[in-house]
Amino acid sequence: MSKRRPSIDPSQLGFTFTPPVPASREADLAGLDRVVAASVAAALKDDPRSRHEVAGAVSSLLDDTVSKAMLDAYASEARDAHNISAGRLFAVIAVTKRFDLLDSLCRRIGAAVLVGEELQTARLGHLKAQRQRLDDEIRALRTTVQPIERGQR
């Protein structure tokens, strides 16, 4: 029997400026629990620390106990009864620094993730777009405006 393919495609984890499409059609999010579990598995697999160490770091970050066995259950696509909560998923992402996995998950609902200073890059692009819009408006007004001459004779 061949090994089952994970629910995430590692080649689709790179950052892209392509706007994600919001999930809105029937079954757009079908199987999302498996994809989340596969994301947790990928984050744990690629981290150089043992699962015990990652569990300790997640526990510390949350100030709540998260064991290696719990991480194993969260990472298993076959364990339907052990889905990870959003808070614990965020903690696993933060501890493993696998923001690409979070971005991949968010893109399924039409959002994207910016991390740290990447937000400054987005802000710069936003400001440039605003400046361009204002420059276009100024150019359009120049062709129609007349000087204001009130009360001058």
Q: Tokens for 30, please give them.
A: 């079908």
Tens of pLDDT along 139-152? 999 999 988 888 87
Q: Tokens for 67, please give them.
A: 């064991």
Are residues 113 and 104 in contact, defined by beta-carbon separation less than 8 angstroms?
no
Residue 12 has pLDDT above 70, yes or no: no
**129 membership: H or E segment, kind and range:** helix 118-142
Are residues 85 and 77 in contact, defined by beta-carbon separation less than 8 angstroms?
no
Are residues 44 and 51 in contact, defined by beta-carbon separation less than 8 angstroms?
yes
Q: Tokens for 140, please give them.
A: 């359009």
d(CA 3, CA 145) in angstroms, rounded, equals 71
Looking at residue 9, the DSSP 8-state letter turns out to be -
List Cα–Cα distances, 58 to 8, 39, 55, 140, in angstroms.
Answer: 22, 16, 5, 56
Tens of pLDDT along 94-129? 999 999 999 999 999 999 999 999 999 999 999 999
